[in-house]
Structure 1
Amino acid sequence: MANPGLRVKKNFVRPKQELIEPFRSIPVANIGDSMNRINCMNSRIRPMNTAPLLGCALTVKVRTGDNLLMHQAIDMAGPGDIIVVDAQNEQSYAITGELMISWMRRRGIAGLVVDGCIRDIDAVRNLTDFPVYATGITPNGPLKEGGGEVNFPIMCGGLIIHPGDILVGDADGIVVINPQDAKDVLAKARAKNDAEVREKEAIENLTWDRAWVEATLLKKGCEFID
């Protein structure tokens, strides 16, 4: 019998690693620009350390202030999975902390994204090989009464996240890629990145073409006065 709000889907389709790995060398901003600038998470989802994020989403929705379903998700996750938690941006309870994060790291999980709070920030901040993103920090711990779902679509950072979506994160934030779009997005993002490299060279050489600014304003009817 269906039980929405308390259910776990054990399996989902993970994209192949060769589809994920090429995004590692491309800045999130360039990937986001290549997706019409609507697929980056809200800025409230911010990095808690400097480790770069790359992998596929294993999704969790938890009841406010409760992390029992997150424990289930962690024990189900495999290497390369990113635990993505819809904690409804709750600021009164930390959904996870050092012990759970250490367990994720030791099991080869690729990272953690929480639309909500974490704790034990000193330990998390010092991790260089396990990326953690969240909206805040509080010492107040969670309950374990249940309510929630694993591997169903969730909301996180203002975006709908599906199990198996590709996530790329750096110091700017996180971009989300549907695996079906990944090859096309990668080609566009690489082209965007190459163009940006050329622009940086032009800036350094004082040859950056800025004529488009005035041309655009003229098209919009801007009046220039001497």
Structure 2
Amino acid sequence: MSIATSSATPAHDPELSQFEHFQVSTLSDAMLALGLKDTALGPTVRLLVGKRILGRARTIGRVPLPSNGGQQEIKPEFSLAIQEVIDGCGPGSIMVIATQGIATHANWGGNMATRAAAVGALGLITDGAIRDLEEMGPLGMTIFAQGTSPRAGHYRFATAIRNEPVICAGVLIRPGDIIVGDADGVVVIDPAQAGAIAAKARELVAVEEEMQGFMRTGATLQDAVRKYKVR
């Protein structure tokens, strides 16, 4: 179904604005109807703070530290990669930090969120953990994560990917991909497919609104499904 307009969408990005009114579930249905690959993040990634997010991905990939090395042994030039990517965010950006689903240590906290908010980033998507959760709301950050942990991430992870494709909660995410998240979860949209997905979503919303109106007249759900050929 459709929803109220998201005030977080930058007015200068018309490609994003076509998704302002759609629930994530509708976009997932639209992609299925078009025969596109499933890009809904796994359900371990859940909404912790905020209501909705719509923006462009900026990506970081992290790997667990081996027993015999740290950041210097893996990619010493990436020692400040997360900070670099956050500093480079602009309005409408969404940080994506992929941790291979490891949530024992946090990869996001209050200092990162403070800078992200200052440069116009909208929030974070991660299949790992965050900390300083109570600071996120006042900073205007919308956070999707597996959970929280007080442990600092640099004791567990090294950064291996900076603004290149990552796999987060089972989904490939590239810098510049469109991210839409709400209480149902998160979907990733290839900009090349954005127009077709938005058009199909509008079709589905129109059918569902007509179907629900039909049921409000007293029709049964079975009658509605038969009439509108949805399930």
**Smaller-chain TM-score range?**
0.7 to 0.9
Which runs of no fewer than 5 residues in structure 1 stay unpaired? 1-15, 215-226
Q: Which of 10, 23, 34 in structure 2 is aligned with 1:27?
A: 23
CA shift for structure 1 position 164: 0.9
Structure 1 CA distance for aligned equivalents of residues 116 and 60 of structure 2: 14
User: Cα distance 1:112–1:92, how it changes in 2: closer, same or farther (>3 A)?
Assistant: same
After TM superposition, the structure 1 stretch with the greater mean CA deviation from structure 2, 202-211 or 84-93, is 202-211
Is 1:184 paired with 2:180? no
CA contact (8 A) 2:48 2:144 kept: yes
Aligned counterparts, 1:47-66, within 5 A: 47-64=47-64
Distance in 1, Cα, partners of 2:80 & 2:104: 17
Match of 1:175 among 187, 198, 207: 187
Q: What aligned pairs does 1:69-148 form with structure 2 within 5 A after superposition?
A: 69-124=81-136, 126-127=137-138, 129-143=140-154, 146-148=158-160
1:32: Cα distance to partner? 0.5
Q: CA deviation at 1:202?
A: 2.6
Work out the CA distance in 1 between the residues paired with 2:195 and 2:158: 38
Task: Indicate conservation of the 8 Å contact 1:57/1:165, yes or no.
Answer: yes
Cα displacement string for residues 179-216 of structure 1 (whole angstroms, at most 9, x for unaligned residues): 000001000011111222222223333224515879xx
Count of residue pairs brought into register by the alignment: 199
Output the aligned Cα RMSD: 2.5
Amino acid at match of 2:148: I
Cα separation, 1, equivalents of 2:90 and 2:225: 49
TM-superposed deviation, 1:54:
0.4
Alpha-carbon displacement from aligned partner over 1:95-126 (angstroms, at most 9, x marks no partner): 011221122112101221111000112222x3
Percent identical across equivalent pairs? 29
Specify whether residues 68 and 203 from structure 1 end up closer, same or farther in structure 2 by C-alpha distance, changes over 3 A only: farther
Deviation at 1:129, TM superposition (A): 3.6
Please state whether the residue corresponding to 1:89 is helix, strand or coil. coil
Q: Secondary structure at the match of 2:43?
A: coil
Gaps of 5+ in 2: 1-11, 66-70, 72-78, 227-231
